[in-house]
Structure formats: structure tokens, C-alpha cells
Amino acid sequence: MSAVPIGLFEPFRHSVSVDRAVLALLMRWLPTYLRQTEIRENKPRSWLARPRAYTTVNEDSDEDFYSDKQMPTVIVTTGNGEDWQRAGDLWMAHFETTITVVTRGRSMPESRLQGALSIASVTELLIDKPSLEGFANGLRPVSENVRPVTDPANRSRHLCAGTAVYDLFVADIRRGLAGPLQPDPSEDPDTGYDPYPPVDEIDIDLDWHPPTSPLEQ
């Protein structure tokens, strides 16, 4: 962990930054894990369609949200940051993160299987890479389930959602005893703050030694 200059405003991690870290990992690795799931389930390539949309907002009532061109859809939503802990000046917490993969099948049994396999692949990925490639400090799966989804467009489609909840432990979310060193707020907060204390005077002590004569070398 690198040293942080006194007075600097950092770190700053929150629920949406957890979402971003999870989404970045899924976008990079989930296609690989879905392919391996197909192999183990004896399914042809792309039987599990690769996600076309990744989002942090669930809009079940929007007809376009679950349109064919956005299926499957991956939704990542991080809820409460709980069980805050302190280690020195650093604060850390557990975040409850919910991931849903909405799939479409030719029948309800097929859609349900796709939803179950998709979210199982997500969990396998997170278990393999619990740090989210350096963002988090631990991960624990809490639950997994699959359920049918009502089609908001009232089309003859079969939609299912594979959903899982995870407990993510994230260190370095805030730092106490930091912030500006000035005793009063700046008159113009847009100017920012110098992360280092001002220097009014410098004292330098020199020990002088006469140069060595060439004959003494």
C-alpha cells in the first residue's frame, strides 16, 4: 500500500464504484466462463448467448430495457455498505452486491436453464477472481436463484433471471484524519487544496570538512 501525502482527499470508494469494478471484470471475463460452461454442459458454442448489455439500473417496466437487441442483460447493483471497520486511519466495509443475468429462451425450461447456468458462471468467475483484479479484498457468495420474468412488451418470449447476492469486502474506502490542513475552508473550494503543509522556513545544518590533499589519497 503506497503512502498518501498528509492532507490529501483520498481514497474515495462507494456503492457505484463497486458496481463499476464488478462490471469491468464481467465484461472482460464472462464470455470465457460462459464458453467453458457450454463445454461442460455439452452445449454448442453460443448456446449461452453472450451478454449484450451491462448496466447498474433495473428497469423492468421499460419495454426497450429487455429488447431482443439487449439480451442477455447483466445488471449489477450494490446496496448497503455495512460493518464498517477501522485500521489506523483507513476505513473498510462490506458491500452487498446483487448481480442478475436476464436470459431469453425458446421455452420456459430452456430459459430457466440458461439463467441458472449464466449466474452460476458469474459466481464461478467471482470465486476465481475475488479481488475484482485489485479492487476488493475478499468475496463471499450469499445466495443464487433463478426466476421467471414477466415480459414488459407482452411478446411471446420466455424470460428468466438468474440472480446472485455477494458479500464484497473492500478496504481503503475512506481515510480519516486527512483532508485539508487549513484551519478554515477555502473561500473558493474550486481552487482545491495543496496536499502538503506550507513551508515558511528551512533550516539546513552542514558539516564542513576540508578537501583531502592528493598526497593523502
- List pLDDT tens digits, range 142-177: 999 999 988 766 667 788 999 999 999 998 877 766
> Is there a domain that residue 77 lies in?
yes
Q: Which amino acid, 152? A: P
Q: How many domains does the chain have?
A: 1
My answer on whether omega of the bond before 72 falls inside 30° of 0, hence cis, is: yes
> Is there a domain that residue 8 lies in?
no
| Pairing between β-strand 90-105 and β-strand 138-149 as defined by DSSP bridges | unpaired
Altogether, the residues listed in the chain come to a count of 217
> Is there a domain that residue 185 lies in?
no
3-state secondary structure of 216: helix
> Is there a domain that residue 121 lies in?
yes
Predicted TM-score (pTM) of the model is 0.76
Q: Please name the residue ranges forming H helices in 53-196.
A: 108-128
- List pLDDT tens digits, range 86-134: 877 788 889 999 999 999 888 899 999 999 999 999 999 999 999 999 9
Q: Is 19 exposed, middle or buried (0-12, 13-18, 19+ CB in 10 A)?
A: buried
**Quick one: cell of 11?**
481514497
Q: Is the dihedral of CA 202, 203, 207, 210 positive or negative?
A: positive
> Is there a domain that residue 183 lies in?
no
Q: Which domain holds residue 77?
A: 15-98+105-142
